[in-house]
Every structure is written in C-alpha cells, then in structure tokens.
C-alpha cells in the first residue's frame, strides 16, 4: 500500500509505503518528478506538481524502505521502480510530493489570512469557490483547516479568476478536499457568487 502523510489533503505529503504490515518512508536521494508522478498516479491524485525532500512534511516513523528511487515515470506502482533497498539515510531525508489533485486554500482581500474571498489552488492555478452550497458546515471546515477558529459570517464576492470550484460537505471533515467537490461544472455554479468568510481567528 501507499499513502501521503503530513499534508493538507490526501494528495500532498510525505511518501509512505507499507511492507510486511508496517509503514515506512522513502529517502530523498535521487527523488524527482518522474518518481513523484508514479506516486500521484498510483494514488489517483493526477500528476506531480512539485517534489520535496528534507522531511518537508515532518519526519516519518518506521523503516526507510527505499533509497535512490529511479522511476522512468510510466510505472503503475512505486515498488516497481528500480531502487536501493539498503540506505544511508535518516528520517530527516524523507521524500514528499504535491500532486495536481491537491487542494490548497487561502482567504484573500481581508485584513489577514483568516478573512476574505476563498481561493483554491488546484491543478496549478488559483480559482474561486461558488457560494451555491457555502453554508455553516463548509465554512466551519474551512476556518478550522486554516487554523482560523470558527466562522463568524459569510462574505460574497465576484468571480474574477479563471476556474470555479464547488464544495458540499455532509459532515465535519479535516478539510474541504474530503467533502464532495466538482471543478468547472457550470450547473452547481449557475448564478453563484464567489464565496468568502470571516473566521474568528482574524485580527488575533
């Protein structure tokens, strides 16, 4: 099995593999976009946008299972790629990746990062979010995931960025990426405004 840990969605983080029932990490020696592409595709997270070494997502636990990974980029699974099973690494060299299906959020135009128009980085570009389902639950998920406390009130803006994202949450998830979402579908965004929020953490 394969997973990404320590990121803000399941498509960003430290690369972890499972072998013999135990999870371990991958060393960043030789870690590049071709290797990361295999990880992203295997996890159905699109393609690799950027690669990270030096435990950018924190140090993992357990064994370091691969070193000097050398994928060509077309492999189905990371463990099919040539690699050294012996290593001279420590967990401060754990490899990480950001995949294109990762969502990253910011609030812009407010007094600080806890208030303003919601913008999402997805597939390499920033988009606005349709307010068609921008209710209390969605705002709670967002404010909490940004470390901004609880929502105080919604804000409404115009759509001025090229893409549109739509989120609808059924329960309190760790981030909006775990809720139901669609990208650039016109029907849920018809006659919508761009969503925004003021979270309780603003001005602290």
Per-residue pLDDT of the chain (204 residues; tens, 9 = 90+): 999 999 888 899 999 999 999 999 999 999 999 999 999 999 999 999 889 999 999 999 999 999 999 999 899 999 999 999 888 899 999 999 999 888 889 999 988 999 999 999 988 789 999 999 999 999 999 999 999 999 999 999 999 998 999 999 999 988 898 899 999 988 889 899 999 999 998 876
Q: For CATH 3.10.250.10, list the domain ranges present in the chain.
A: 2-99, 103-199
Q: What is the CATH number of domain 2-99?
A: 3.10.250.10
The Cα 140–Cα 121 span in angstroms is 19
Superfamily for domain range 103-199 = SRCR-like domain (3.10.250.10)
- In this prediction, residue 143 carries a pLDDT of 96
- In this prediction, residue 178 carries a pLDDT of 86
Please name the residues in contact with 194: beta carbons below 8 A apart, sequence gap of 6 or more.
117, 118, 128, 129, 130, 131, 156, 157, 158, 159, 160
- In this prediction, residue 124 carries a pLDDT of 78
Cα–Cα distance list, 149 to 4, 198, 200 (Å): 26, 10, 5
Residue 130 is given by DSSP the state: B
Cα–Cα distance list, 30 to 26, 53, 168, 184 (Å): 11, 10, 40, 36
What pTM, to 2 d.p., does this model score? Answer: 0.73
């Amino acid at each position: 099995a394969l997973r990404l840990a320590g990121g803000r969605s399941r498509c960003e983080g430290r690369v972890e593999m499972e072998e013999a029932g135990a999870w371990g990490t991958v060393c960043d020696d030789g870690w590049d976009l071709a290797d990361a592409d295999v990880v992203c595709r295997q996890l159905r997270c699109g393609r690799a946008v950027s690669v990270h070494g030096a435990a950018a997502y924190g140090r993992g636990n357990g064994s370091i299972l691969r070193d000097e990974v050398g994928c060509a980029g077309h492999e189905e699974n990371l463990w099919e790629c040539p690699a050294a099973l012996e290593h001279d690494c420590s967990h401060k060299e754990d490899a990480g990746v950001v995949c294109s299906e990762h969502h990253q959020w910011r609030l812009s135009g407010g007094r600080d990062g806890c208030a303003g128009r919601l913008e999402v980085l997805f597939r390499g570009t920033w988009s606005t979010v349709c307010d068609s389902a921008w209710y209390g639950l969605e705002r709670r998920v967002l404010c909490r995931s940004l470390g901004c406390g609880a929502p105080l009130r919604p804000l409404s803006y115009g759509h001025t960025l090229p893409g549109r994202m739509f989120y609808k949450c059924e329960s309190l998830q760790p981030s909006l990426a775990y809720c139901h979402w669609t990208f650039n579908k016109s029907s849920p965004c018809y006659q919508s405004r761009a969503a925004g929020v003021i979270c309780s953490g603003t001005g602290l």
